[in-house]
Amino acid sequence: MPKKIRQFHIVDRCVFIPFTRAEAPDFIAEAEEAEQKGATGVAHRNRKFDVVCYDDPGTPLKDLGFGLTTRILIAGHGGAGDPYVSNVDTPPGTEVPYNVVCDRMIEKGLQKRYTGAISCDVCYSGVKSDANPSFADLVSRYLNHKGYVLLHTIGYNGAMGAVHEVIDAEHKYEHRVVDLASGETVKTSKWAAWKHYSGIWSIPDRLKNLTVRPFT
């Protein structure tokens, strides 16, 4: 029997890895480290991080609660206006497009009643390019068009730290951070770090029906 996700409380998170467990050891280790830092008081909040990978059995995302503060964290590496995320920062690896990421969450049991957030924990996931919307924007549009209208999507405005880290001596705890284009490093909770998307716009035709490809 597949392991059920722990019932979420206000501070809990589910890390969704759109790759197989064999492809994603670093993401799994980072989630474990984040939970350990919270449990030992190194990080500010003692959060539980349940990990769901694409090849996990069953539909574990069906166990997610209704809480407005519940978050699914999409793990991956990306860039500004890149519709793909990869399992590694440098090739070789695998690239999965936003639409397949969403389809894999749905396959793993994501419910249309879900009212929490989809947080794209991907570098530059909230930054568009001259040619393309941001990755988080595409995720939001795709899910909205699939009927997932109660959730909202978050993207980040720079390179993200993979794990909690020290910002400066003035901060008692370690935090997840975003390095902004201005050169400033801020906590992911700061307004400057992220953008919110509701998915109301259409998806450009050239970006529809993308497929998984090698990262070379």
pLDDT digits (tens, 9 = 90+) for 190-216: 888 999 999 999 999 999 999 999 999
pTM exceeding 0.85: yes
What's the one-letter identity of residue 52? Answer: V
> pLDDT at residue 10 above 80?
no
Question: Ramachandran region of residue 49, left (φ > 0), alpha (ψ -120 to 50) or beta?
Answer: beta
What's the one-letter identity of residue 22? Answer: A
Instruction: Specify whether the CB–CB gap between 102 and 139 falls below 8 A.
Output: yes
Quote the distance between the C-alpha of residue 92 and its chain's center. Answer: 21
**Which of 18 and 181 is assigned the larger pLDDT?**
18
Say yes or no: domain 13-215 is CATH 1.20.58.
no
Domain ranges of the chain: 13-215
Cα gap 157→170, rounded to integer Å: 23
> pLDDT at residue 157 above 60?
yes
Q: How confident is the model at residue 177 (pLDDT cuts 50, 70, 90)?
A: confident
Minimum mean pLDDT range among 90-104, 164-178, 189-203 = 164-178
> pLDDT at residue 53 above 60?
yes
> pLDDT at residue 1 above 70?
no
Helix/strand/coil for 140: helix
pLDDT of the residue at 160? 85
Question: Ramachandran region of residue 32, left (φ > 0), alpha (ψ -120 to 50) or beta?
Answer: alpha
pLDDT in tens, 11-45: 368 999 999 999 999 999 998 887 776 556 555 66
pLDDT of the residue at 48? 78
Name the token pair of 157.
């405005």
β partners of residue 152: 117
pLDDT of the residue at 11? 39
Q: How confident is the model at residue 186 (pLDDT cuts 50, 70, 90)?
A: confident
pLDDT in tens, 99-154: 999 999 999 999 999 999 999 999 999 999 999 999 999 999 999 999 999 999 99
End-to-end CA distance of the chain: give it in Å, rounded: 36
pLDDT of the residue at 4? 56
Cα gap 24→17, rounded to integer Å: 7
Residues 6+ apart with CB under 8 A from 90: none
